[in-house]
Amino acid sequence: MLKQGLELKQTQKLSPLQIQTIKLIELPVQELEQRIRKELEENPVLDEDVPNENDQDEAPREVSLSDYKEDDSIPSYRLRSDNYNSKEERPQYNTFSVKESFTQSLQEQLGYRNLTEHQYAVASFIIGSLDDDGYLRRSIDSVVDDLSFRANIETSEEEVLEMLKVVQEFEPAGVGARDLQECLLLQIKGCRKTPEVENAVKILKNHFNEFTNKHFQKIMTRMDISEEELKAAMAKILKLNPSPGGQIDDSYTDQAQQIVPDFLLEYRNGELQLSMPRFSVPELKVNRKYADILIEAANSCEREKKEAAAFVKKKLDSAKWFVEAIKQRHNTLSSTMQAIVDYQKDYFIDGDETHLKPMVLKDIAEKTGFDISTISRVVNSKYIETHFGIYSLKYFFSEGLENQEGEEISTRELKKALMDCVENENKRKPLTDDELVEKMTEKGYKVARRTIAKYRDQLGIPKARLRKEL
């Protein structure tokens, strides 16, 4: 026996406009420009709005689409996205650009060497096997095997070592090293021979373990040198770069990549002024001739015109949603950034990190009325230019801890105080984690030893023994 019944369900679906807006919010200004230009290519209804002096006297004309879109009409102001006021001067701001990758730099230097085709292939494979920091951490026999099985190049360990020496002659100095000791030796050997350099070479060659463990007295005894001579040699070593590959960022490919600030914050006459500079973002409008096709088809019975009108209507809807989504993106980003500026006003005035308040996504969501997920999309991959530098929006978000007075403070403030303690310590007798806890307590910060250890690791501060200096 079949039973019939009614079931009531409530579902939520995002409209095309909402989907479009969500996607655009996530895009930084450069990707937004590319997205708009792609839309201009794909949608013939959309045009780039080029300012024309003759258009100023022409009154905006509304287009009725009642026959094709419920009882709705689209006024001209809704078919236009003013990404930038053409009458205003575009603000100038800084960009960062990296034009050559680490691997590209080495490959270019390889091309200047007089090598056979076989040698070039082996050396090129070695370059491709380097880590981002410039080290070759793979064994020579594994490189030989990979050359044979992956690149179909038969070679020997001797030839690989020979080509590795060629790569190790490239800039930056130290590239192609298999460990830290070899990296430092490759760099120091390129320095002018002086007593300090010669002592530094001996330390790195014969007393590397004592050097890494800061056993200075053992080094002085075994090398029969004075403390001043050791200081001079150590000064030479400390100027060397332990990560030669880090001088060039390999995250960039063939094209130059730029960081373009999405926001510009200026401090003028005691007031913070927030703006959103747009760089080459075209202004959009809907092509009127396609709207005219709809008007003409409304009074026509021809099948071809009806089909053309249906196509135009579809594209026109898409164009309207896109233009409206850009407007909503602008409003969302502007409101969110203004809320961040208001929340961190003291910090944005002078750039003092100690004035940075604890702030999470929820705090800004409550101030703006937006969902936390929306705030997260706004913050992601966005930058702001201030009078004291360019920062990622994520930088201003941090958790909070209580001080001895019960006031909530930012973890960034705590980390800065920790850095100050380490910088001002006696380098001959560095502060242990327990002693750092005491120092922080004196400054008014209530923090546990494990927290100090965690923040010390995050800041890249070594343990007390490894911070010891002469």
**Could you read off the pLDDT tens digit of each residue along the chain, which spans 470 residues?**
566 666 666 555 667 777 778 888 888 887 888 888 888 888 887 777 665 545 444 433 433 333 344 334 445 444 455 554 444 444 444 444 444 577 888 888 988 888 899 999 999 999 988 888 888 988 898 889 888 887 888 889 999 999 999 999 998 888 999 998 899 999 888 888 888 989 999 999 998 888 888 888 888 999 999 988 888 988 888 888 888 876 554 444 444 456 788 899 998 888 899 988 765 555 667 677 776 766 666 666 677 767 777 777 788 778 788 888 888 888 999 999 999 999 999 889 888 877 888 888 888 999 999 988 889 888 888 899 998 888 888 888 876 665 565 556 677 778 888 888 888 888 888 888 888 888 888 887 778 888 888 888 878 888 887 777 76
The string of pLDDT tens digits covering residues 280-323 is 555 667 677 776 766 666 666 677 767 777 777 788 778 788 88
Instruction: Parse the chain into domains and list their residue ranges.
Output: 16-52+60-88+274-386, 102-247, 399-467
Note the CATH number of domain 399-467.
1.10.10.60
pTM given for the model: 0.52
Angstrom distance (rounded) from CA 223 to CA 428? 21
Q: Is the dihedral of CA 434, 438, 440, 446 positive or negative?
A: positive
